[in-house]
Structures are given as C-alpha cells and as structure tokens.
Amino acid sequence: MARDLPDDVRGWCERIEALAWADNVRAMTEDPVNPLAAQLGEAGGVALPALGKVPMAMFSRVVGLGVDRPATQADVDALVGFYEAAGPVTFAVSLSPDARPVELAAWLEARGLARSLSWAKVWRGVEAPPESASDLRIEQIAASGQADFARIGCTAFGAPPALAPWFGATVGRAGWRHYLGHAGDEPVTAAALFIMGDVGWLGFGATLPSHRRRGGQAATFARRIRDAAELGCRLLVTETGQDTPAQPNPSYHNMIRAGSELAYLRPNYVRKPAG
C-alpha cells in the first residue's frame, strides 16, 4: 500500500493520470484519419488506451486498475482480450500499490505480463512554486502551436516523427492547457496541464537537447502551478521514471525542486505480442 498520503490524494494520484491518458487517445480516435490506429476500450472500470501502430508499451498503458474498485479475474481477462484484438500491441499495466486485490499482480503475471521498470508518482498542492531562473519565455499556446508542441515532444523523447499525432492530439482541446518556452523566437521546451474538477495533471514536459540546463522545465512547472491555482485546483499530480544511483532521472529532480513530493513507486507490468 502507498502510505502517509492524505486520503484525498490517494485515489487522485492514479485517477487524474488515467483521465488525461484516456482523453489523449480519445482525441486521436476522433481524427477521421487516425494515423496511429488509436482505440479506447474499457475493463474493470478503467480505460484501455491502445495505439495499434506503435509497438511501445508506454503508449498502450492501463492506469488505475483496482484502485476505485477491486479488480476481478474477469476484468483482467477482458483487458488482455482487448489488447489481443487491438494488436499486435505491446501493452502495459501501471499497478498502483493501492490496487486491490493483493492477488492482482499475480493475475497479471499468470497472463503473460512481466514486471518491468517502476515509475515515481509525485504530487503537490498549489502553493506558490519556488523561484526559478530561466532566460526562456513561457507562453500558453492555442491549436496553432500544435506542430511545434509535437515536434519538441518527439525530439526530446527520441520518438520518431510518426508519433507527432500522439504528442499534439490535445493541443487546443477542452480541459487542457499547453505551453511552449521560447529562446528568442525559437520554441525549445513544451509542457501541458490537464484539469478535471479541482485536480490537475502535469504532463508532456520536454526540452530540446540543445536547450537543456537553461531552467526550461522549472519555468514551465512554475507557470502551470500558478495557472492551476488561479483555475481553482487544489492538487497536482505527475509521474516519471524511477530515480536511482545507477540511472539518475533529471525529470524527477526537477519535480522535487518544483515542490512536489514522492507518493510512491509504481511498477509496470508489460506484455509483448505472442510470437
């Protein structure tokens, strides 16, 4: 179980991420072209996002299974069946330490999902962010900035240009705010804020390699925190890869410097297509 978390934080740590992730894929399914063969299913009360043309588990990833209600073996069978039909798809289940029942991890493993790397889940309130120094100019963008936002995301994460529709799918969409940081007139850093009620999710933080170590991520965190507070949020959540001595994660340290704290580490269970 995740421990020492306020009661109103525990469920939202998973719920807001699941809502944001599902809405990103939903936006892609609404595109008549749907170039990445996006699909959105449901099992066990959680969304099942899938990108049929992307053989990477992080893009077909289930969040929140067993959190709002205990999962059943029938839920797990339905989940696996959905991805088998959507495939061949490599998919993952990000399993919260609060997921129920305790047998859920074993059920996933029995169906061919193998435990993989863990992610750090972090949270903060909307108190004023720490002061940060950056020479980048942070601006909220409209739908017209979609191409720049997607290009920065693809480049920063080392993703092929074909994934641009995923990175840019929600730019200009209701419930979302997107930001670009500029060095002069050049967009070099990107970030997004998704809000549901009084809870926000901070995602898509990315900076071009050529412009890192200039405070871009700190500046986009500060801008999103201030905007979220003005919009009535009380809680902000995000996640990143686990930080370890062997594999330090600069994104995690940026989050902590921005005033977030670790909620828990969350393993991912991954299954690749048969054959």
d(CA 206, CA 151): 10
User: What is the predicted pLDDT for the residue at 275?
Assistant: 63
Q: How many CA atoms lie within 13 A of 71 on its CB side?
A: 31
What is the per-residue pLDDT for 131? 83
In angstroms, rounded to a whole number, what is the distance separating the alpha carbons of residues 211 and 125?
Answer: 29
Q: Report residues of the chain scoring pLDDT below 50.
A: 1
Tokens of 104: 């859920």
Tokens 């902590």, located at residue: 256
pLDDT tens for 182-215 read 999 999 999 999 999 999 999 999 999 999 989 9
**Most distant CA pair in the chain: distance in Å?**
55
Whole-model pTM?
0.95
pLDDT value for 133? 83
Alpha carbon of 201 to those of 53, 121, 133, 138: distances in Å? 26, 11, 23, 18
Strands, E assignment, the chain: 38-43, 46-51, 61-63, 91-94, 114-124, 137-141, 176-183, 186-196, 199-207, 235-241, 261-271
Structural domains of the chain, ranges and CATH numbers in brackets: 7-120+266-271 (no CATH), 137-233 (3.40.630.30)
pLDDT tens by residue, 75-116:
999 999 999 999 789 999 999 999 999 999 999 999 999 999
- pLDDT score of 1: 43
Q: Which two tokens stand for residue 244?
A: 């370890």
Of 156, 131, 153, 132, give the one whose Cα is nearest residue 215: 132
Helix (H) or strand (E) holding 73: helix 73-86
The helix (H) or strand (E) run that includes residue 230 is helix 216-230
Task: Give 4: exposed, middle or buried? Use CB within 10 Å, 0-12, 13-18, 19+.
Answer: exposed
Give the C-alpha separation, 202 to 191, whole Å.
8
